[in-house]
């Protein structure tokens, strides 16, 4: 059975390049990103892990821990990590989980038989402090992920979790947001002192409230 938004992210214990990881315990009360790779020593994966390492400070600012997972064994991960550091001019410090028995891949439905019976697809999960799945993105093995988009979505999720707003198409941090339909315009004017712009009764904008 596949995971859906709002489900509790399955807990697991696994070995990684940073030692044993107990997933829920490792995340603590912060946010988490778990993302899978078809295999070690593959070109697209190498660029993805390198990009993630380069964004270390961005994830830290968002109180978010990142973990990669591959069905290859741990000793392979160590060698591959060296290659990533060398070719991407970075230093991978986040855990790369070893999943040779495909336990994590099975828990998170990362094996799509019609795409590949052996390799995991490029699945990415954002998990909130309540350990619930907030986002699922799945790419084919041939397409590298856009980590600028991952950060954008993370900003939106963290904002909308704490304020009665939604984010419009192509929104980025600092831009106006949408007042959720559950709040009347009268209440919105009281709730958002920076102002409310009414385009339609159901379409109302306000400046980002947490700035």
Catalytic residues: 45
CB of 36 closer than 8 Å to CB of 122: yes
Q: 110: Cβ–Cβ under 8 A, 6 or more apart, which residues?
A: 36, 69, 104, 120, 121, 123
**Residue 145 backbone dihedrals phi, psi, to 5 degrees:** -80, 155
Beta bridge partners of 124: 35, 137
Most distant CA pair in the chain, distance: 61
Q: How far apart are CA 36 and CA 84, in angstroms?
A: 16
Whole-angstrom distance, CA of residue 188 vs CA of residue 159: 16
Pairing, β 133-139 against β 165-166: unpaired
Length of the chain counted residue by residue: 211
Whole-number Å distance between alpha carbons of 51 and 55? 6
- Distance from C-alpha of 46 to C-alpha of 96, rounded to nearest angstrom: 12
């Amino acid at each position: 059975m596949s995971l859906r938004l709002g489900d509790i992210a399955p807990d697991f214990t696994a070995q990684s390049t940073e030692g044993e990881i107990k997933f829920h315990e490792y995340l603590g009360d912060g946010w988490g990103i778990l993302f899978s790779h078809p295999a070690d020593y593959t070109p697209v994966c190498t660029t993805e892990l390198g990009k993630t390492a380069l964004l270390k400070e961005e994830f830290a600012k968002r109180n978010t821990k990142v973990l990669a997972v591959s069905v290859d064994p741990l000793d392979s991960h160590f060698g591959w990590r060296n290659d990533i550091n060398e070719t991407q001019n970075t230093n991978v410090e986040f855990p790369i989980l070893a999943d040779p028995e495909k336990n994590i891949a099975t828990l998170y439905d990362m094996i799509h038989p019609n795409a590949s019976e052996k390799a995991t697809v490029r699945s990415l999960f954002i998990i909130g402090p309540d350990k619930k799945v907030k986002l699922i993105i799945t790419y084919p093995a041939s397409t590298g992920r856009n980590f600028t988009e991952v950060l954008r979505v993370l900003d939106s999720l963290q904002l909308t979790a704490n304020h009665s707003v939604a984010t419009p198409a192509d929104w980025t941090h600092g831009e106006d947001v949408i007042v959720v339909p559950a709040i009347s315009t009268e209440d919105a004017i009281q709730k958002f002192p920076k102002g409310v712009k009414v385009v339609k009764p159901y379409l109302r904008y306000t400046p980002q409230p947490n700035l």
